[in-house]
Amino acid sequence: MKRLFILTVYFIAFTCECFAQDIIITKDARKIEVKMTEVNVDNIRYKRFDNPDGPIYTMPKSEIVSILYESGHVETFVTENVVTQTTSAQTPPTLRPGQRIDLYEMQRVEPALFQQHLSGRRQSGSGTAMIILGIVSATVGGIAAGVAEYEDDYYLGIAAVVAGGACLAAGIPIKIVGESKKRRAVNAYRMKYTANLPPHLQLNLNQNSLGLAFVF
């Protein structure tokens, strides 16, 4: 049974690591999800978020606009060319209905909404991690209690089940609140910058649903 709990501890550490992602925003508007390993004078080094055990990549700072760290800190790399482009392009963005939100553009024109979205993303990630932890803890505890040969081991397994249930009870509302915060930020941004169009039918494709709405 001790091996089960050791595996649980390793899984918890792995889960927490999985949600610690950074985002590199390049000058050609690419957003790369990574795990930063090093920031040097002329370049940065990172691993891809979807391949944490893979190779370490190097990218010159001259190709980067900013790095959004998992902690919420934003590091901006300003060059003379970027300043020139920014000052010459102060027109607000215009979105098409259903167009995907550019987080870098949101950060530029609506920093308060960007911070709200970022806070919601972190909160949702924490909730997801707690949900996964709760499921694993409850499952491992249930197995341990079922195969326990001694009374102490049985109660230890039950304690793990209770702890897992507590994580689920806390993680689910945390994730719901985080997703709601992200959605409110995106909706407020869309309402402000979506181009005015005549009444029309709009197909809304979300992560888990597909709907048809009349927009007027």
Side-chain half-sphere CA neighbours of 7 within 13 A = 11
Q: What is the pLDDT of residue 200?
A: 53
Question: Which amino acid, 112?
Answer: A
Q: What is the pLDDT of residue 87?
A: 43
- CATH number of the structural domain 21-69: 2.30.30.100
Q: Are 106 and 189 in contact (CB under 8 A)?
A: yes
Q: Tens-of-pLDDT digits for all 216 residues of the chain?
A: 455 555 555 555 555 555 557 888 888 878 888 888 888 888 899 998 888 888 999 999 888 888 888 766 778 876 544 444 444 445 667 777 677 777 778 887 888 888 888 888 888 888 998 999 889 888 988 888 888 888 888 888 898 899 989 989 999 999 999 999 999 988 888 888 886 545 555 555 454 555 555 555
Residue 210 pairs in a beta bridge with 205
Whole-number Å distance between alpha carbons of 199 and 146: 61
Q: What is the pLDDT of residue 85?
A: 47
SS3 of residue 204 by DSSP: strand
Best CA proximity match to 48, nearest among 34, 67, 64, 37 = 34
The beta strand positions in 43-163, using DSSP E, are 43-48, 57-60, 64-68, 74-76
Residue with tokens 């040969």: 149
Whole-number Å distance between alpha carbons of 155 and 166: 16
Residue 76 pairs in a beta bridge with 66
Query: What are the tens digits of pLDDT across the range 145-188?
Result: 888 888 888 888 898 899 989 989 999 999 999 999 999 988 88
Q: What is the pLDDT of residue 202?
A: 54
Best CA proximity match to 101, nearest among 176, 202, 23, 185 = 185
